[in-house]
Structure 1
C-alpha cells in the first residue's frame, strides 16, 4: 500500500514537472496526444509527397516551419538562425542552427484538410546538391521557392534541371515579398526566359515590401488578408478597386497560358464559352501534372502571408502517388532491361517494392529512409535487398518528423518511412520476394569537383577518424575518400570547400576527432589534342607459355561536349584479334585511363578504336591483350600531343553597383570570362565562367572588396583546356613528386 502511494506521488510530480518545465516544448506532448491522427492511413488520393527546393537563402526552411505550424504539427514557430536558441524544426543538426543553412534534407509528414502531406526540406547550397537529387527521385511533386528580390538564381536553375530529370511537376512560390526591392513580375519574366517555363500568376500580391497586406486569388476573384499575430486568421474580401483592372488582365493571361497546353480549356476559350472556376482549376491540374504549365503563387513566409493558399494549391494541383507512373527494371540476358509499370493501388496484392534513398547514422544504428512504390509492408515481415539478395527482417517501422521518429505497424504504396539496422547502400531496391527480379532506377550522383588532403590532428584518434569516414562515405555518395599512393596522403573529395569543411567540423563534434584539411586539389583531366595511331606488339618469352598480343588502331579525342567520357570501339574484322580477348583490351585501356602519364591525372574525352591486331595460337591470352592495350596508351603518350583539361564553373555574383569595377578586375585576374550582367535598384548580378582552380579563397576576397555585401554561388559547367602556364606547373609538380628529371624537349612537345 505504501509502495503504491509512493508511485502515485512520483507520477504526479513528474507530470507537474513536464507540464511546467519551460525547456520541454509543448508540441512534444501535442504530437504524442495527436499521434493516432497522424498514424491513420489515408486512401492514396489523399496523399501528397512534396519537396521544397530552391536557391540558397530563398526561405525553404522558414516556409516548411510555417506549413508545420498552420497544419497543427508544431505549436510554436522558430526562426532559422536560432535567435531564440531553438532554431527551425527541420534544422535539427547543431551546425545547421549555428550557420543558418540546411545541410541535410529532413523529412516530416503532416495533415491539411484531411490530406496526408509528406514533406522533404532540401538544402539550397550547391555543395549539398545530392540531397536534392535524393529527394526529387522519390517525390511526386515539388514547390520551387524563388526569392522576390534575387529571382531565378544559379541553384534555382540546377534544381529546375533536377526536376526535369525526374519528371517532377511543380508549383512556383515567389517568397520574400516583404523585402526591399521585391519584384514578382521580374521573377515571372525570368522563369519564362531562363527556365523556359510556361508560367503565369494564379495570385497577385496586395502591396510589396513594407506594404505587403495579402494576396488576390485570380481564379476565385477574391482578396485574402492574413490577420492575427501569426497570420492564422484569413479574411476574404473584395478585390481592392485600384487592382481590379490588373487582376482581370492577369486572369485573362492565366487562361491564355493554360488553354495553350490544355485541349479542354483551349476549346472553351476558342468557342468563347463561359469558363468557371472549376474549369480553370481542372485545366491547371491536368497541365501541371504533365509539366506543361507552372502555376505561380506569391507570399512571404517570414511575415506569415500566403502559406495556407499554397497548401491548398498543393492539394489541388500536385499529383497523388496514384497519378504518377513509376517503373521498375527487369534484367534480361543479352538485351535491354524490360520496363515494368508499378501499381500503387493500396488494395492490390502485388509484391512490396521500395527504394532506399538516404542513409543516416542514428542512435539505434543505421537509419534507412525509403519510399514505397508498390504493395505494403508490415512490422515483422522479411524483405530482400535486390542487389545483394540478402534477407532482412523488419523489426521496427517508423515515420519521421525531422529528427523525431514515430512508430507505425504498416506502410503502403506512396508512403515515405524508415527502417533501422538495414545494411545497404543509397539507391538499393528492397522487395518482398527475391524472385520478382525487379529493381528501381538508382539516383543520379554528380562527380566530386574538389579534393583536399585530410589528417587527424592526433594519431591516437585514428580509430574515430576511420569510423567517421566510413559513416560519411556511406551516407553521402558525393563524399569520396581514398589514399594516394604516389603522394602518400589521404584525400577527401566533395562538391565544394563548404562541403568538406562541414564534414571536418562534424568529425570533431560527433567523433571527438579534430582534423586538418590541406590545400584543395582540383580534379584535372588529361586528353589528346588530335588523333594518334598506335601499333603495339606485346611479346614476352621466358620459358613455358609466353605472352603475345598485338593491337593496332587509333586513339582520338571526343568532341568538347563529351570530353568527360571514355569510349571503346571494336572495329576489328576477322579473327586477328579473337573476340574473347576484346574485353582484355578494353580493360587495359580503362586501367591506364585511371592515371595519365602527363601529370598523373585521369584520362578523359578519348575514344579507343581497335582496328586490327595479331595473336598467337598458344601464347595469346586476355592478360597479354590487357598489357598490349596499356603499352599502346604509353606509345600514344610518347607520339601524341596531349593537353590538360580543368573544370570550369558557372559563377553568379551579386553586389552593390559601386563595386562592379573591382569585381570585374578580380575575375580578370582569376582568368574569368564574363558572360552577362543584370542590374536593378542599385544592385547588379554578374554571370561569369571561371576555372575552379582560380576560385579558391574567393569568398574572403569578395567580402573584403564589397564591405561584406557581396555574395556569390557557383556550380560545375564543363571541362575545358587549361592555360599553358597552369599545364607546365602541373607537369613540373608531377615530375618532381615522381623523382623524374624534367625533359624540356618532351615538355615542349606535349604543349
Structure 2
C-alpha cells in the first residue's frame, strides 16, 4: 500500500483533487498542506475567534474570503448561492436558499503559521442562542458592521453577549462599496451607542464605486488589493490628498489608546514619539483588557481589507493562554470554589472540556467541545460530570463547516467534536471524575413566542416525535409542550422565523409536513401591590391527617425583576419547622406555573413566609405544599393582579418618503417611538412595540414601502398590557374553563 493510498483514507475532501493530480508536485503540495493543517501548534500560535454582527452585515462573506486567502478553499462562492454552490459555511440547504446563517458553523485554518479556529454565527435575533454559546467558548471575536447600516439592534445584543463573557474583539466596518457608505458615522455610533473606546487603525481610500484600498495608520502605508481576487497586497505611499487626514487620525488613535494604557500614556505625557511597535503593543494590551477596540475597514465582497484583518487577529486578539478560564468545584453545603484552569498544551493536567453545541451528524449525535485543560487521545475515557457516565472516545474530529477531519489527539485551546456521546448543551467532561470540576454553563434566554403545531398526516407522528426530540435537544431556546386546556401541542421559540425554520426542517429532513397555528405570546401575570395571606390547611378523613398553616405576604418585585419569582423564608422560632420550608416553596413554585387570571405563568412576585403553625403528628411536607397552594389562591382572590406582555425593541429602516407612514403604523400598533436617525435619503426609526402587535408587520411594511423597508426586533422587557388586551385574555381563559358561556360568533 503506497503512502498516497494511506493518505487518501484520512485526507479532507477538499484536498482530494490535488491528490488525484497526475503531477508529482501537486501531490507533494497536497501532502505538505495536509501535514501543515494536522500539525499541533504552540499555545501562542492559536486563535479562537467568532465572527458576529447584525443580520446581513457580511459575516459569512467575510468568512468565505478568510478561508480563501488562507488557502483553506480553492474558490470563493456567494452567500445566496447564485452559482448554485453557496458559501462554504452555509452548508444547510435552507441557509443557501434564504441567504441567511441559521446554525453557527466551525472551521479552522492557517495564517502565517498560526492556527485560527473560526465560528461563523447567525445575525438574526431568533438564533441568538447560537451566538451565545459560540461566544461562551471563544477567546476573541470580530464584530462586523455595515458601512451604511452602522450600529443596529443585533449589534447591541452581540456587544452585550461579548461583555457577559468578557470577550475582547476587533471592529470591522464592511461594505465600503455600498452606496451611502460612511465609516465616520459608524465610528460615531460605536462610541455613542456601545459606550466603548473605539478608534480607526485604518482609513478607506475612496468609498462606494471608488473604493480602492485602505491606509494603515500605524505603519503610514497605503494597501491596495490586486490580482483576480484581491489576493496580492501591494504597499504604496499614502495618497497626497489623504496625508493630513491620516496624521490627524493617527494622533487621535494614540490619544485614545494613551487614555487606557499606562505605558503609552506616560510617553504621551512626556511628549515622546512612540514607535510603531510601541503603538501595536499598547493596542494589544488595552484590547485584551477590553479597554480599547481597534476599528478596521474594508469590503469583503470586493476582496479588500481581509488580509490586514487577519494580521490584526494575530496581533491584537488573545491566544488561549492569555484568557483566564475557571471551573467550579462544588462541595456539599458550601459555595462553589473557583479553580483556575491551566491552558498549557500538555498532558500534565487532567482534561477539562465544555460541550457547547449539539448537532445530528451522519454518524449520530455530533457534540462540539472546547478543550480548556489537558489533552485527549483517541481511545481515552472521559466522564460527563452531570450524568457520571463514562465514555470511550473511538473518534476525535475537527470541523470544516460540514466536513469532518479525523485527529488522534486534541490539546487545551482546541475546538473539536465527538460522535455518539449522549449529553446536553453545557455539560462538562473530564478525565478524572474525582476532581468534581464543572464549567459555568451557557446563558439561555426564555422563549417569547408559542405556536400550535401538528403533523399533517397522522402516519408521520413517529417522524414528528424524532424531529422534536432532536431539535429540542440541539436548541435550548426551542421548547415543546402540551396545553391540556386548549388540547393542542405547542412549540415555543425566539420568534416567528425561528419556529418557521424548524417547521421547514421537519418537512425537509424528516419528511413530516406540519401545520403551524397562530402565534401565541408568552404573557405573564403579576401582582400590583402587596397582599397578606393567612391560610390554614386542615384535613381529617380517618388515619393520618394533614395540618399546616402559613402566614406571610406576597408582593411585587421591582420592574427590572418582573420576569423572576422569589421565595423568602422569614420565619423564626419553632412554628414552621425547617424541614417543611421546601414544601412551602415547592407549592408556591407549582402555583406560579399557571395563574388563575388568564392561565399564564406568574412572574415578578415574591412569596415571603413569615409565620405559621404545625401539628406534631399531622404536619408533613405535603401538607405545607398544599397550604402554599391555598395561600396563593387566597392572594388571587384578595389581591390586585395585572397581565404583563413582552415588549420588543424594533428598528425600522426605509427611504425618507415613507417615514411618516412607518411611524403611523408603529403608533397604531401601540408602539412608543424612542428615537430616529437620518442618513442620505434613508431613515431609521427606533421604537418599543408589544410583541402581540408585531405579527403580520413584515408584510404590511413591505407593501407600504414598495418593498424597500426593513425591520428587525429583539426582546426588550416585560411591561403591563393595555386594559383592553387584559380583558380579552381573561375572558378567553374563562370561556375555555367553562366559567362563562362562550360568545356566539357574529354572522357576516
TM-score category of the 2 structures, normalised to the smaller one: over 0.9
CA offset digits 1:193-218 (Å, max 9, x no partner): 00011000000000000111000000
SS of corresponding position for 1:127: helix
Show CA shifts across 1:49-99 (max 9, x none).
Answer: 000000000000000000000000001000000000000000000000000
Is the 8 Å Cα contact of residues 595 and 602 (structure 1) preserved in structure 2?
A: yes
1:4 maps to none
Q: 2:539 aligns to what?
A: 540
SS in 1 for 2:706: coil
Three-state SS of the structure 1 residue aligned to 2:181 is coil
2:526 paired residue number: 527
* Closer, same or farther: CA 30–177 of 1 in aligned 2, 3 Å: farther
- Give 1:743 shift: 13
Query: Stretches of 4+ moved more than 3 A in 1?
Result: 17-22, 27-33
Alpha-carbon spacing, 1:32–1:94, altered in 2? closer, same or farther (3 Å): farther
Tell me the equivalent position of 1:144.
143
Written as runs of structure 1 = structure 2, the 5 A alignment for 1:46-445 is 46-347=45-346, 349-445=348-444
Aligned to 2:731: 732
Cα deviation code 1:676-706 (max 9, x no counterpart): 0000111000000000000001001100100
Q: Secondary structure at the match of 1:116?
A: strand
1:707/1:33 Cα in 2 relative to 1: closer, same or farther (>3 Å)?
A: farther
For residues 144-165 of structure 1, what are the alpha-carbon distances to aligned partners after superposition, in whole Å with 9 as ceiling and x for unaligned? 0000000000000000000000
1:278 partner SS: helix
Q: In the TM superposition, what is the alpha-carbon distance from 1:31 to its structure 2 partner? A: 7.1
Distance in 1 (alpha carbons) for counterparts of 2:389 and 2:27 = 37
Preserved CA contact (<8 Å) 1:174 1:299: yes
Q: Corresponding residue for 1:581?
A: 580
Structure 2 CA distance for aligned equivalents of residues 100 and 618 of structure 1: 68
Question: For the residues of structure 2 that align with 1:352 and 1:379, how far apart are their CA atoms?
Answer: 13
Indicate how the Cα distance of structure 1 residues 632 and 497 shifts in structure 2: closer, same or farther if over 3 A, else same.
same
- Following superposition, the deviation at residue 34 of structure 1 comes to 2.5
Asked if the contact 1:468/1:507 (under 8 Å) is kept, the reply is yes
Distance 1:437 1:333 in 2: 11
**CA distance in structure 1 between the aligned counterparts of 2:175 and 2:459, rounded to whole angstroms:** 49
Residues 256 and 20 of structure 1: CA distance in aligned 2, closer, same or farther (over 3 Å): closer
CA distance in 2, matches of 1:126, 1:33: 42
Does the 8 Å CA contact 1:397/1:410 hold for their aligned counterparts?
yes
**Counterpart contact for 1:732–1:742, Cα < 8 Å:** no
Residues 351, 371 of structure 2: 8 Å contact kept: yes
1: distance between equivalents of 2:379 and 2:173?
45
Q: In structure 2, what is the Cα distance between the partners aligned to 1:136 and 1:741?
A: 51
Q: Take 1:665 and 1:289, find their aligned partners in 2: how far apart are those partners? A: 45
Alpha-carbon distance in structure 1 between the residues aligned to 2:41 and 2:303: 29
Partner residue of 1:34?
33
- Tell me the residue number matched to 1:748: none
- 2:515 and 2:32 mapped to 1: Cα distance? 47
Residue 14 of structure 1 is matched in structure 2 by none
Q: Which runs of 5+ in 2 are unaligned?
A: 6-15, 744-748
Q: Give runs of aligned pairs for residues 665-676 of structure 1, distance below 5 A.
A: 665-676=664-675
| Matching residue of 1:483 | 482
**SS of corresponding position for 2:739:** coil
* TM-score, normalised relative to structure 2: 0.95
| Cα-to-partner distance string for 1:417-440 (whole Å, 9 max, x where unaligned) | 000000000000000011111000
Distance 2:516 2:28 in 1: 44
Distance 1:31 1:341, change over 3 A: farther
Query: Would you say 1:492 and 2:470 are equivalent positions?
Result: no
C-alpha change, 1:140 and 1:635, in structure 2 (3 Å) is same
In the aligned structure 2, how far is the partner of 1:449 from the partner of 1:443?
A: 18
Retained in 2: the 8 A contact 1:174–1:297? yes
Tell me what 1:452 maps to.
451
Q: Structure 1 residues 113, 205: closer, same or farther in 2, change over 3 A?
A: same
Instruction: Indicate the SS of the match to 1:534.
Output: strand
> 1:19, 1:593 → 2: CA distance?
63
Displacement after TM superposition at 1:347 (Å): 3.2
8 Å Cα contact 2:366-2:417 kept in structure 1: yes
Q: Shift in Å at residue 274 of structure 1? A: 2.2
Is 1:31–1:73's contact at 8 Å kept on the other side of the alignment? no
C-alpha spacing 1:743/1:472, structure 2 compared with 1 (3 Å): closer
- CA separation in 1, counterparts of 2:440 and 2:119? 20
Go from structure 1 to structure 2 and tell me whether the alpha carbon gap of 1:289 and 1:19 turns closer, same or farther (over 3 Å shift). Answer: closer
Deviations 1:155-190 (A, max 9, x none): 000000000000000000000000000000000010
- The question of 1:722 aligning with 2:721 is answered yes
Assess, with a 3 A threshold, how the Cα gap between structure 1 residues 469 and 90 changes in structure 2: closer, same or farther: same
- How far residue 28 of structure 1 moved from its aligned partner, in angstroms, is 13
Aligned partners of 2:81 and 2:96 also within 8 Å = yes
Q: TM-score, normalised by structure 1?
A: 0.95
Distance of 1:179 and 1:28 partners within structure 2: 42
SS at match of 1:329: strand
Quote the residue 1:749 is aligned against. none
**Distance between the aligned counterparts of 1:448 and 1:30, measured in 2?**
50
Q: Distance in 2 between matches of 1:165 and 1:284?
A: 22
Matched residues in 2 for 1:742 and 1:260: separation? 70
Partner of 1:747: none
Task: Name the CA shift for 1:19/1:136 in 2 (closer, same or farther; >3 Å).
Answer: closer
Question: What is the CA–CA distance in structure 1 between the aligned matches of 2:386 and 2:27, rounded to whole Å?
Answer: 39
Q: Deviations over 1:641-675 (max 9, x none)?
A: 11000000000000111111111111111100100
Deviation at 1:20, TM superposition (A): 13
Cα distance between partner residues in 1 of 2:727 and 2:150: 42
Q: Check 1:477–1:32 CA distance in 2 against 1; reply closer, same or farther (3 A cut).
A: farther
Conserved 8 A contact 2:18-2:27:
no
What's 1:683 paired with? 682
Counterpart of 2:345 in 1: which secondary structure? Answer: coil
Q: Over aligned residues, Cα RMSD in angstroms?
A: 1.7
- The answer on whether the counterparts of 1:223 and 1:236 sit within 8 Å (CA) in structure 2 is yes
Equivalence for 2:562: 563
SS at 2:730's partner residue? helix
Q: 1:652 corresponds to which residue?
A: 651
Deviation, structure 1 residue 21: 12
Separation in 2, partners of 1:719, 1:576 = 38
Offset at residue 742 of structure 1 (A): 7.0
Deviates more, 1:347-356 or 1:58-67: 347-356
* Aligned-partner Cα distance in 2 for 1:28–1:712: 51
Aligned to 2:710: 711
Specify the alignment match of 2:606 in structure 1.
607
- Secondary structure of the residue that 1:34 maps to in structure 2? helix
Q: Distance in 2 between matches of 1:742 and 1:671?
A: 30
How many equivalent residue pairs? 725
Equivalent residue, structure 2, for 1:620: 619
**Equivalent residue for 2:10?**
none
SS across alignment from 2:486: coil
Partner of 1:553: 552
Structure 1 residues 29 and 538, CA, compared in 2 at 3 Å: closer, same or farther? farther
Aligned counterparts of 2:268 and 2:161: Cα–Cα separation in 1: 34
